[in-house]
Each structure stands twice: as structure tokens, then as C-alpha cells.
């Protein structure tokens, strides 16, 4: 049976996906509560990492080292930074970049990490499977950008969009992709849009849409997980 690790930043994001499984056994590792859920073909390990790149990176390493996962999925919400990407749309990352990594003083590109590169590519097979999923939601494939900043400034959103051709921003995906790349674990980032950097007070939109967008992401996972 394939083992799949699913990482969520927030409790609310995990809750919606946990509902698609019947029951769960709980593992406690350090401060992490890891829910082991089985279906016919896969064993899934669901865990809340907490927000931000460091929390997400260490949770990824814990799933790889303690649970021996074959795949990692990062699931949750994101803020749109493209006028073409609307609330509740799902964005699947084909590549990830850390918009807050800056070693440009040494002639590297913005977001370029010396031992990694500027972008980390999601697993091609998982992207291919994702393209076969048909649910009642707009699914868009493109660049996802991560950083330890909640983007609520229109100008900052526009800059990240232009610099990296990114569709949305969140705070974990690219660090998860970096750890998976270093450990040779196939991964995919799946984000439902909760807010837009181009709307006023988007943290309010984020709070309002957190549950409904997390439900969309869970619906995607329900269809996707059996196809891995």
C-alpha cells in the first residue's frame, strides 16, 4: 500500500479533508498529532504543521523519517495574486518558489537558493493525475509562491506575480517542496483560493473563505487520492 503524507498549515484546513476518511489512529511525534487514515489503496497521514516555512519544512522531514511516506501532498488555502485566479478556484503547483529568499547581492536570481535553484518542480506523474480530476471547480496549473508573509498589499502581490509568474501566495508549499527535493520524495501542492491580494482587508476574506475553500480542496483530495 502506498503511504501518503498530507500537510496542512491550519487545523481548519485539515478538518475538511479528515471528513473524507472513516476513522483515524493518532500518532504523537514531538508536538505533532498525525492522523493515520486508511482506504482501499492508500494509507494517509494527515498532520497540521503550523504556519510558515520552518514549521512546514520540519513537519515534512518528520513524515519522511518517522512515517516512511512515499508521497507528500501540501493541501490548504492561498491568496490570489493573478487577476485571472478567483476565490474558490483550485491552483495546483507545477513549480514552487520562495519569494522571500534573496541572495541577489551575490548575483543570484530573486528566490534562487544556491543548492536548490529558483524553482522546485512538483512531481510530473502527480501533476498528470491531477489533470484527470473533474470536480465542479475551476482547476488551474501554474507557479505557487511561498514566503513567511501574509500578502495583503496589492503592490507586493503584483510584484511577486510579475517576478515569478506566480498565480497565488501561501506560506508553506515551497519549503515542503525543498525538503521533498532534497529527500527525493514526489510531492504536489494543492491550494484553494481564499482571498486576493487585490481586495481591501483581504485577511477578512481569508477568514470568511477559509472553510469553504478548504472544503473545495478536500473534494479534490477525495477524487485524487485513489488515483495515486
Please report, as ranges, the residues that interact with ligand ADE according to CB under 6 A.
77-79, 150-152, 169-171, 194-195, 197, 202, 206
The residues near 118 (Cβ < 8 Å, ≥ 6 apart) are: 97, 109, 110, 111, 112
Task: Name the residue nearer to ligand ADE (CB basis): 64 or 217.
Answer: 217
The three three-digit cell numbers of residue 206, written as one number? 481569508
- CA 211 – CA 73 distance, rounded (Å): 19
5: cell is: 503524507
Q: Least Å distance between CB 28 and ligand ADE?
A: 27
Active-site residue (options: 13, 16, 89, 172) = 13
Sign of the CA dihedral with 179 first, then 19, 137, and 198 last: negative
Annotated catalytic, 13? yes
CB of 206 to ligand ADE, least distance (A): 5
Residue 204 CB partners (closer than 8 Å, separation 6+): none
Is 112 a catalytic site residue?
Answer: no
At residue 204, the 3 state secondary structure works out as: helix
Nearer to ligand ADE, 79 or 111 (CB): 79
* Per annotation, catalytic residue among 89, 112, 172, 195: 195
Cα separation, 73 vs 58, in Å, equals 15
Q: What angle do CA 28, 34, 40 make, to 5 degrees?
A: 135
Nearer to ligand ADE, 43 or 156 (CB): 156
Q: In the complex, what is the shortest distance from the CB of residue 146 to ligand ADE, in angstroms, rounded to a whole number?
A: 8
Residue 121 or 150 having the CB closest to ligand ADE:
150
Q: Which residue is at the shortest CB distance from ligand ADE?
A: 79
- Give CA 167 to chain center in angstroms: 13
To ligand ADE, the closest distance from the beta carbon of 221 in angstroms equals 18
Residues assigned a catalytic role: 13, 195
Amino acid at each position: 500500500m502506498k503511504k501518503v503524507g498530507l500537510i496542512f498549515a491550519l487545523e481548519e484546513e485539515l478538518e475538511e479533508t479528515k471528513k473524507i476518511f472513516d476513522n483515524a489512529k493518532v500518532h504523537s511525534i514531538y508536538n505533532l498529532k498525525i492522523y493515520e487514515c486508511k482506504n482501499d489503496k492508500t494509507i494517509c497521514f494527515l498532520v497540521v504543521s503550523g504556519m510558515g516555512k520552518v514549521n512546514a519544512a520540519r513537519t515534512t522531514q518528520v513524515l519522511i523519517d518517522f512515517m516512511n511516506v512515499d508521497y507528500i501532498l501540501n493541501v490548504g488555502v492561498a491568496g490570489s495574486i493573478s487577476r485571472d485566479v478567483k476565490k474558490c478556484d483550485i491552483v495546483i503547483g507545477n513549480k514552487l518558489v520562495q519569494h522571500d529568499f534573496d541572495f541577489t547581492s551575490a548575483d543570484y536570481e530573486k528566490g534562487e537558493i544556491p543548492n536548490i535553484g529558483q524553482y522546485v518542480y512538483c512531481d510530473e506523474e502527480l501533476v498528470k493525475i491531477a489533470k484527470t480530476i473533474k470536480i465542479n471547480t475551476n482547476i488551474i496549473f501554474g507557479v505557487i509562491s511561498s514566503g513567511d508573509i501574509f500578502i495583503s498589499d496589492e503592490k507586493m502581490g503584483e510584484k511577486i506575480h510579475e517576478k515569478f509568474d506566480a498565480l497565488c501566495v501561501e506560506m508553506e508549499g515551497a519549503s515542503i517542496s525543498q525538503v521533498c527535493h532534497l529527500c527525493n520524495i514526489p510531492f504536489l501542492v494543492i491550494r484553494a483560493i481564499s482571498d486576493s491580494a487585490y481586495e481591501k482587508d483581504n485577511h477578512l476574506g481569508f477568514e470568511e473563505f477559509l472553510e469553504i475553500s478548504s472544503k473545495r480542496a478536500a473534494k479534490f483530495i477525495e477524487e485524487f487520492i485513489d488515483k495515486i
